[in-house]
Structure 1
Amino acid sequence: MTAPTDEQELELLVKQMTLEADGVLSLRLTHPAGEELPAWTPGAHVDLTLKNSLVRQYSLCGDPADRHSYRVAVLREQAALGGSEYVHEGLRPGHRLRVIGPRNNFDFLPAKRYVFVAGGIGITPLLAMLTEAERRGADWELWYGGRRQESMAFLDELASYGDRVHVIPEDISGRLDLAAALPAHEPDTLVYCCGPEPLLAAVEEHTASWPAGALQVERFKAKQVEIDPDGEQAIQVECRRSGQTVEVPADVSILDALESAGISVSSSCRDGICGTCETKVLAGTPEHRDSLLSPSEQESGATMMICVSRARTSQLALDV
């Protein structure tokens, strides 16, 4: 993964809204003038600016071959900060939304066989992967778990794939059985998983002995990272392109410190999961606290998410 560049910002029309399941609403977005939209690949997401400049990321779950519309799906969350509530209660067809992207932190890599594991709204980034796997002629199967069948989105759409799709509503069939879904590592097979943190943690534990890269995951919420506030140290960040050196106090993020110094850096989630603030590291050693970079990417130290990560060295040089 590399830091995003040349992302496009568009104002798109909410063309259609569809209730896909209890609490899940899909939006179909089009260009007001009917123009083609930027191309995207399976696993990509876009940033939507909702009410009061609130920005939220949503996976694209349509067909990448459709250049005239984007589809996203939004779960109504009871404990949300207003984004999903606004989509469900305030947004209507005909409204316009500011859209940035697409950006892909969940690349769909080539393989002979795929196993997809989804939990709840985690089905969204996998839908386009199923379409692409079909185009490639790859062997695949999907294991899709949810709390209730009525709350599981896109079931009619998935039914067309036949017995390769295993739908497991917890209230009827119990929890998704990882031993059945992932009995053993198979060569030339990739596992793609998206869903709530307990599912991701369970799948990561289940596949811990598998080769690096065999499991690909995407998180909607940041992993819990234990931080000792008393162990935090101030650091110095040299911003090579801006020609400034910024002192970052122990209790301030690198992103916040750079913004306070007048250095503009693209950002969105500020939780280390969206990739918007990914920045090239030119010198120094990052201390990674994100939920996005793979272990090998973190070990390389080539980039970092400056919204949450800090440094193991007293100084960093960044390409900002």
Structure 2
Amino acid sequence: MQQMQHTTLDHIEQIAEGVVSLVLRGTTGPLAPWEPGAHIDVALPNWLTRQYSLCGDPADRDAYRIAVRHDPLSRGGSEYIHRFLRRGRTLDVSLPRNHFPLVPAPEYLFLAGGIGITPILPMLRAAAASGVPVSLVYAGRSPATIPFADELLSLHGDVVRIVATRHHGRPDLTALRSALRPDALVYCCGPAPMLAAAEATFPAERLHVERFQPVTRTYAPNTPFEAVCARSGRTVQVPPDESLLDALTHAGYPVPSGCREGVCGSCEVTLLGGEPEHRDDIGAPAGRMYACVSRAQSPQLVVDL
């Protein structure tokens, strides 16, 4: 079972058009440590679990800060938070996970679009504190839709450029690339068109991206396979029309899950044998796989359950 932390919603406020900031304070002592780029699962009172990047100060062990944009096509997560969640509500959150870590570099360029600023905020703070050259280009439709703009300009004004695309168009990524030293790292989080433009502009070995939605890919037709649960000695049949996650859940193995799209990592299982077909967007480490989307290339997978 996934380890959860108990928090209370200490503060919630609208910080931009369609965006609220939430401060979750630990109720049973210090919260788990985290590093820039990390996110948490939030178990909402309407039985949904959603993932949000931590955008506060990693040195503050008493509270986590997240921000949530209201999605007009919400599946129930952002809609509930914006319409019904109130100060004082208790919320269980997971331990932080980080698939978007900040690695050492001689120079950083951060690119953010809209709510994609959330993982970038603590990254910018940490990178600036390291003393290397840093810059942030932050794009949004209009000033009213750009959260944390005042905070960024107040703390990092000299290195922050905010672009209201409705008035000034999209940032010129080619010009930004030409101004960087060859070994600089670029971190990008935002809507799919921004990520695609960044991938077309910057060398892949220098670019780190985080996605909110999976990339559309084509795979061979699903085939059935067996999941051998090593600890319990049971074998679970996984038919073509069912995910490994659902098959395990229906068999009595409640694997945690969140996005069910291969972008959050909450459904990670330990792989002991067999050949997986990784279909996630975050890059499963060796000996791990994400049960919501990934399948098997061999007749059997052996998992640590």
Same fold per superposition (TM over 0.5): yes
> Which residue in 2 is equivalent to 1:94?
88
Deviation at 1:74, TM superposition (A): 0.5
Q: Which runs of 5+ in 2 are unaligned?
A: none
Aligned residues: 304
- Residues 8 and 102, structure 1, Cα contact 8 Å, conserved in 2: no
1:86–1:310 CA distance, 2 compared to 1 (3 A): same
Pick from 252, 257, 261 the counterpart of residue 267 of structure 1. Answer: 257
Deviation at 1:204, TM superposition (A): 1.6
> Which residue in 1 is equivalent to 2:189?
194
> Which residue in 2 is equivalent to 1:3?
none
> Which residue in 1 is equivalent to 2:19?
24
Deviation at 1:153, TM superposition (A): 0.5
The two structures have a TM-score, normalised by structure 2, of: 0.93
Pick from 149, 157, 160 the counterpart of residue 151 of structure 2. Answer: 157
SS at match of 1:118: strand
The two structures have a TM-score, normalised by structure 1, of: 0.89
- Residues 117 and 144, structure 1, Cα contact 8 Å, conserved in 2: yes
> Which residue in 2 is equivalent to 1:282?
272
Deviation at 1:187, TM superposition (A): 4.1
- Residues 51 and 83, structure 1, Cα contact 8 Å, conserved in 2: no
Pick from 51, 55, 72 the counterpart of residue 66 of structure 2. Answer: 72
> Which residue in 2 is equivalent to 1:218?
210
Deviation per residue, 1:30-81 (Å, 9 max, x gap): 1236x32211111111111113211111111001011111110010111101
Deviation per residue, 1:248-300 (Å, 9 max, x gap): 11111111111122223222221111101122322222212111117xx5xxx
Q: Which runs of 5+ in 1 are unaligned?
A: 1-5
SS at match of 1:41: coil
- Residues 7 and 102, structure 1, Cα contact 8 Å, conserved in 2: no
1:263–1:94 CA distance, 2 compared to 1 (3 A): closer
> Which residue in 1 is equivalent to 2:246?
256
Deviation per residue, 1:199-258 (Å, 9 max, x gap): 112212223xx253x211111112212345xx2211122222232222211111111111
Deviation at 1:188, TM superposition (A): 3.7
Task: For 1:258 and 1:31, locate their aligned partners in 2 and report how far apart those are by CA, in whole Å.
Answer: 32
> Which residue in 2 is equivalent to 1:204?
199
RMSD: 1.9
- Residues 2 and 256, structure 2, Cα contact 8 Å, conserved in 1: no
Task: For 1:251 and 1:211, locate their aligned partners in 2 and report how far apart those are by CA, in whole Å.
Answer: 34
> Which residue in 2 is equivalent to 1:172?
167
Deviation per residue, 1:69-113 (Å, 9 max, x gap): 111001011110121121111111122212112111111111121
Moved more, 62-71 or 257-266: 257-266
Query: What percent of counterpart residues are identical?
Result: 47
Pick from 6, 9, 14 the counterpart of residue 11 of structure 1. Answer: 6
Counterpart residue identity of residue 291, structure 2:
I
